[in-house]
Structure 1
């Protein structure tokens, strides 16, 4: 992995690991916030990958496939975004009493 990507990759990996070990009873709002943060971090990582590609050696015998990495990151980011934008299940509502006279 190119040196330019290591710090960002490691910080994203540690953020993902921290989220993975959160208590199972975390509420939906916290999960949505965490997923939104991950989506943002992956978008930033995608920008770093594209910048690294611009500075990659063009005559190397074996070349790193930046386009494939960027595409995979985009797929992950889109998957998270689709989950975040999916309609939420309605919460059960207590029925109204309806009779207000005594």
Structure 2
């Protein structure tokens, strides 16, 4: 069971997706992706322990379309990193109020 105190958001895919409740780091990740828009997010710009896992869950548990762009980076540990771009159009919906139908 998930505690009521755990961070969560309710969202839906436009135009007619059903509301879904997303918890914890996946909710945090979705908010970052929505705020970033078409420029997307990287773990370098938005540090978090497991970006790839959050994106995986948003794709596979919630059906969101998120593009992964691989970008090179220089420096003493040169290589590449991922930039994630939310391609689904998503809106945040209010939590239902208890007692109201």
- Normalization by structure 2: what TM-score? 0.30
Higher CA-based Rg: 1
TM-score, scaled relative to structure 1: 0.30
Greater share of residues in strand:
2
